[in-house]
């Protein structure tokens, strides 16, 4: 926790740098600090959200490309951020957080999917404290909804107006009968019944490769992924696999999931898919053709590849 002096100095430094337009050297002179101390306090201001950056997504996106994607796939909206090699995921999750923040005008319920992309988006959210926000998980697998995946200092955990309803179960269990019993447990049923009343739903799109969350979490092996590909799978939403046309495959592993069925996504309002990396091209196309997504937030390389 920041001491009062440290916070006050960080505020002064940030104000002079960003609002008054002073250089770091000028601030150092004005506040009787070394230039290295000025740099330190600017970093403190960023880390503790004293200063926050918002990108105007309307200015960033390629309008022509946006329009073509909306028309091609029947989307409500598309936002495209510049591709940035290893940093595209950060850019896309920040854009997704900004998109949601800018559209909250009252108390809001947000459904949240499983995986790293959604977890990073949640960790970036900064929603005004005048609104109460309820987060509801769409599946089991508590890791990606808890502090082990999301910085405990992030707004997602520190904002007193945030409520969390997390399914108290694994994502995948050993037998279909066990999954069915869990879904019928009252504590889980109560949460699942909240999902249709959401204002937004935020999901990631999974590709079939060794970087897939299901592989990294040890729920599926690379060998099993290859078998899924041989059955025509191109991607997954909420750990349910589908083909290039978005048709869900008839797989026994789906019966072992504690998760919302992806068909429900079609009836929800404002389903926001957050995805980047050209390796997800087919997975995104299948999800779009299946009609599971209303709003796509992605990077420029992916956006262009979807129309090739």
Question: Has this prediction a pTM greater than 0.75?
Answer: yes
Q: Rg (Cα) of the chain, in Å, rounded?
A: 21
Nearest-angstrom CA–CA distance, 202 and 295: 10
Per-residue pLDDT tens for 163-198?
Answer: 999 999 999 999 999 999 999 999 999 999 999 999
Predicted local confidence at residue 61, as pLDDT: 55
Predicted local confidence at residue 308, as pLDDT: 84
Helices (H) and strands (E) in the chain, counts: 14, 10
CA proximity to 79, closest of 308, 267, 302: 302
Predicted local confidence at residue 6, as pLDDT: 79
> Which residue positions in the chain have pLDDT lower than 50?
none
Tell me how far the alpha carbon of residue 67 is from its chain's centroid. 23
Tell me how far the alpha carbon of residue 96 is from its chain's centroid. 7
Predicted local confidence at residue 151, as pLDDT: 67
CA proximity to 219, closest of 120, 141, 113: 141
Domains of the chain: 4-47 (1.10.10.10), 57-305 (3.40.50.1360)
């Amino acid at each position: 926790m920041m001491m009062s002096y440290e916070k006050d100095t960080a505020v002064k430094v940030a104000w002079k740098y960003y609002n008054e337009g002073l250089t770091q050297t000028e601030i150092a002179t004005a506040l009787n600090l070394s230039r290295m101390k000025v740099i330190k306090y600017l970093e403190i201001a960023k880390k503790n959200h004293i200063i926050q950056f918002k990108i105007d997504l309307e200015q960033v996106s390629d309008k022509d490309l946006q329009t073509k994607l909306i028309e091609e796939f029947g989307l409500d909206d598309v936002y495209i951020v510049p591709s940035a090699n290893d940093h595209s995921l950060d850019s896309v999750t920040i854009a997704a957080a900004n998109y949601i923040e800018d559209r909250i005008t009252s108390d809001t319920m947000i459904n949240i999917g499983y995986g790293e992309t959604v977890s990073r988006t949640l960790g970036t959210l900064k929603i005004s404290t005048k609104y109460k926000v309820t987060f509801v998980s769409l599946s089991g697998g508590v890791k990606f909804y808890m502090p082990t995946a999301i910085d405990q200092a992030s707004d997602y955990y520190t904002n007193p107006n945030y409520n969390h309803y997390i399914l108290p179960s694994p994502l995948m269990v050993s037998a279909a009968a066990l999954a069915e019993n869990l879904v019928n447990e009252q504590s889980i049923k109560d949460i699942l019944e909240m999902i249709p009343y959401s204002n937004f739903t935020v999901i990631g799109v999974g590709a079939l490769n060794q970087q897939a969350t299901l592989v990294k979490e040890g729920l599926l092996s690379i060998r099993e992924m290859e078998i899924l590909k041989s059955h025509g799978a191109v991607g997954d939403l909420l750990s349910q696999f589908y083909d290039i046309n978005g048709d869900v495959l008839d797989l026994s592993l789906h019966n072992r999931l504690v998760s919302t069925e992806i068909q429900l996504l079609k009836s929800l309002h404002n389903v926001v898919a957050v995805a980047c990396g050209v390796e997800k091209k087919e997975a995104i196309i299948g999800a779009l053709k299946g009609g599971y997504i209303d709003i796509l937030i992605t990077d420029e390389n992916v956006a262009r590849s979807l129309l090739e």
